[in-house]
Amino acid sequence: MAKMTMIQAINSALDCTMERDSNVMVMGEDVGYFGGVFRCTEGLYQKYGAHRALDTPIAEGGIIAAAIGMGVNGLRPVVEIQFADYIYPGFDQIVSELARLRHRSGGEFFSPVTVRAPCGGGIRGGQTHSQSPEGIFTHVCGLKTVMPSNPYDAKGLLISAIEDDDPVIFFEPKRIYNGPFYGHDVQANVATTWSAHPAGEVPEGHYKIPLGKAATVREGSDITILTYGTMVHVAEAAINISGIDAELIDLRTLLPLDLETITASVQKTGRCVIIHEATRTSGFGAELVAEVQEECFWHLKAPIERVTGWDTPYPHAYEWEYFPEHDRIIEAMQRTLEAD
């Protein structure tokens, strides 16, 4: 075991898979010689060469397309989109091609591409360095969508994604690249560096965390909190501050969704609060509300609450009014508890 930040854990996942399989290569803007603007691919160019840590032109559509073709020809490309906010020029290639190739070809062709993209806010990133577009991708059949919340999961999930024969969209919350984040105005009695956090202990070798499996971060009996990414830590702080005995579930994989873990928890607590940074309307939270309502209707003691980003573009000056902070989370938990 070693102490790793999320960046180091991601780097280690790439290193492990590249070492084991010469068909694994990384590609994207600035990922090669320079090692990536967030350092996630640092040292891979020097260790594996320019063709396996491949710098690309600035063309997300071209990068995804090239990766699809490489995947068809037997490689396992791990594409980096520098910010999730810039994934849209590659959207047609992801939705119309990558996601559907296996189905439309009757199972004859597939392309095992992993698309990594730093996502989320809380970093003064403004409109185009803060977005959480996961709900756009969970709507696309044929894709798997993953978002880790800590170094241990990030490495295990990324290795699983790379070795998976289906295309995986792998969102990395950049706010927690260097340490957990509990909210802008939270003075929680918790670790603020990964080295002081239990999930900062990461095996140096190869291991996997299965896709499609949620993690119960904290057991509780009063409310089920469903969340993922940075908001796992913000929710944890809110629970600690409020003293509410909430069960905190980190979904880890959004699609396919671990409905078993979710329904077992909500059927136990009878209450559910869903938290994500992404905007509210048609966000992934809406899908979670619908699933919980269908599966747990007769167990519910209160309406399901959602705490999300507002339905506005991500603002620069109003970062902490936009970001779902602990006060909004605690209010939602209290409303849910008082509902009956």
Catalytic sites, residue numbers? 129
**Coil, helix or strand for 156?**
helix
Q: Which of 165, 185, 219, 245 binds other proteins (CB under 8 A)?
A: 165
Should residue 69 be labelled a site residue for other proteins when binding is judged by CB under 8 A? Answer: yes
Binding of residue 70 to other proteins (CB under 8 A): yes
Residues 87 to 146 in contact with other proteins, rule: CB under 8 A = 89, 92-93, 96-97, 100-110, 141-142, 144
Q: In the structure encoding, which two tokens stand for residue 195, read together?
A: 């080295």
Indicate the DSSP class of residue 98: I
Cα separation, 38 vs 181, whole angstroms: 17
Q: Per CB under 8 A, does 294 bind other proteins?
A: no
Closer residue to other proteins in complex, CB, 61/220: 61
Of 92 and 219, which CB lies nearer to other proteins in the complex structure? 92
Nearer to other proteins, 109 or 318 (CB): 109
Q: Residue 47's Cα: distance from chain center in Å?
A: 28
- If one asks whether residue 198 binds other proteins (CB under 8 A), the answer comes out as no
CA distance 274 to 58: 36
Q: How many residues are listed for the chain in this entry?
A: 340
Which one, 10 or 70, has the nearer CB to other proteins?
Answer: 70
**Cα–Cα–Cα angle for 183, 185, 188, rounded to 5 degrees:** 70
Binding-site residue total for other proteins (CB under 8 A)? Answer: 45
Q: Dihedrals φ, ψ of 52, to 5°?
A: -105, -15
Among 61-69, 228-236, 272-280, 296-304, the segment contacting other proteins (CB under 8 A): 61-69
d(CA 142, CA 172): 20
Distance separating alpha carbons of residues 267 and 286, to the nearest angstrom: 19
- Applying CB under 8 A, the residues found at the interface with other proteins are 25, 51, 56-57, 59, 61-62, 65-75, 77, 89, 92-93, 96-97, 100-110, 141-142, 144, 164-166, 212, 256-257, 259
